[in-house]
Amino acid sequence: MFFRYKAGRRFAILFILPILLLCTLPPQQAYLSAGPGAQRFDSPPAFEGNEETRSLLEKTLSVAEIEREIERIGREQEALEHKSALLQEQAAEKELDIEGQRERAGAVIRAYYMGERDGLLAALLSAKSISRVLALYDYYEIIMGRDRDILSQYEKQYKDLKNILAAAERSARRLEELKQTLEQQKLRVLALNEDIEGGIVASSDPEAMSALLDEFTKYWESVGLHEVETYFRALSKAMNGLPQFVESQKGMLKRKGMTYQLAVGEADLNQFLVSQNPLFKDFGFRFENGKVIASGTSGGLTLSLTGRYVIQDEPENALMFHVEQVVFNGLQLPESTCRSLEEKFDLGFYPQKIVSFLRATEVDSRDGVLAVKLALSF
């Protein structure tokens, strides 16, 4: 019995000790773990800051991101091909369904055109007694109601068919656009890979350069992209609370006649972001020269985001954030990554969440202030 107790205790110590050791890892090591079976990165791969190496690393990043975009386009293309096939089948079925309805609707229209319903109306008007009038009127209403139903059903089916055909046409156009984009991206990857291979060969140590680029690609795919998306996700979530923050700040929204002026200062916005998420303690916004610039550092990671707010009226009035540039650890991310982040995470600001009858008409960001002009909208 004592032996079993000692063995059980030894097993518990051996089982729990590694968990305790993991819990005591420094923060950088904890959040940079890439999951079971993946390569660990406690810090970004080091490289000399010469322009040739930087250029090769940015091209390597572009290849990784474009290949990810190619995979996404491939999935969307496959889904669209399936959808287009279904729409074509639905259109063919609807054509068969509508054929009989078209003949009945045609017969009704011909009856009115040829005056076949005139006799019924004349009989109704020439009736000699109230009972005869009522009987003929009921009969007239039945026929007219049936005619209306036939025409209404045909109109509905015809509209349904037009909608299906229009959706099929849109899918076909989108599919063609995707195919063209896919080919362009594949050509771009080939060109970039040629540049990268040439750069590796021309470097002072091709083997070391090749290893660096490979390590950096793995680091980006397992850690870098995740960290960039973590910041964007946190920003998107925080922006949902910005209208309530504006409401709570006296003097931030001022009325001038029939318009309103909203002025959000850098310090106010940064204070708000920290209150929403401690992640933003080392991350700050600046408003200058019509642009919005956000940058920060966490462990061995640095991130800089540049963009601008633009007014959007459809489907609703809003200030939408357009991502112009993202720099990760000193390396500029490709355009495809900017568009992907912009589509995936909403950093927009919606004035109607402050006051339902307000809409943004002008926006500018300079001298440390995001200034928005709002007009009444009823």
323 pLDDT tier (thresholds 50, 70, 90): very high
Same domain, residue pair 242 and 338:
yes
User: For residue 250, is it within any domain?
Assistant: yes
Name the residue among 299, 217, 227 with its Cα closest to residue 39. Answer: 217
Question: Are 240 and 179 in the same domain?
Answer: no
Which domain, by its residues, includes 176?
A: 76-184
End-of-domain residue from the set 184, 210, 240: 184
Name, in order, each residue with C-beta under 8 angstroms of 126's C-beta and a sequence gap of 6 or more.
Answer: none
In-domain check, residue 310:
yes
pTM: 0.62
Residue 360 lies in a domain: yes
Long-range contacts of 277-282 (CB under 8 A, 24+ apart): 277/234, 277/237, 277/238, 279/230, 279/231, 279/234, 280/234, 280/238
Q: Do 177 and 230 fall into the same domain?
A: no
Q: What are the pLDDT digits (tens) for 102-156? A: 555 555 555 554 544 445 545 445 555 565 545 545 555 566 666 666 666 767 7
- Strand 253-256 to 318-328 pairing: unpaired
Task: Return the bridge partners of 291, or none.
Answer: 288
Question: How many domains would you assign to the chain?
Answer: 2
Hey, which residues does 286 pair with through a beta bridge?
Answer: 293
Domain-ending residue, one of 152, 167, 184 = 184
Same domain, 263 and 338: yes
pLDDT of residue 89: 80
Within a domain: 200: no
Q: Which of 233, 239, 231 is nearest to 305 (CA)?
A: 231
* Residue 316 maps to a domain: yes
User: Of all helices (H) and strands (E), which one includes residue 293?
Assistant: strand 291-298
Residues 369 and 286 in one domain: yes
Per the domain annotation, does 194 fall within a domain? no
pLDDT recorded at residue 29:
34
Residues 114, 107: contact at Cβ < 8 Å? no
Residues 169 and 237 in one domain: no
Question: Are 254 and 350 contained in the same domain?
Answer: yes
Instruction: Give the end of a domain, one of 120, 150, 184.
Output: 184
> Which pLDDT tens digit goes with each residue over 276-322?
999 898 888 999 999 999 998 877 778 899 999 999 988 888 999 99
240 lies in the same domain as 344? yes
Q: Give the H or E element holding residue 260.
A: strand 259-265
Q: Give yes or no: residues 301 and 177 share one domain.
A: no
Candidates 187, 177, 219; CA nearest to 45 is: 219
Residue 257 sits in the same domain as residue 168 = no
Do 230 and 370 share a domain, yes or no? yes
Structural domain contains residue 167: yes
- The answer on 254 and 174 residing in a single domain is no
Q: Of 25 and 203, which is predicted with more confidence?
A: 203
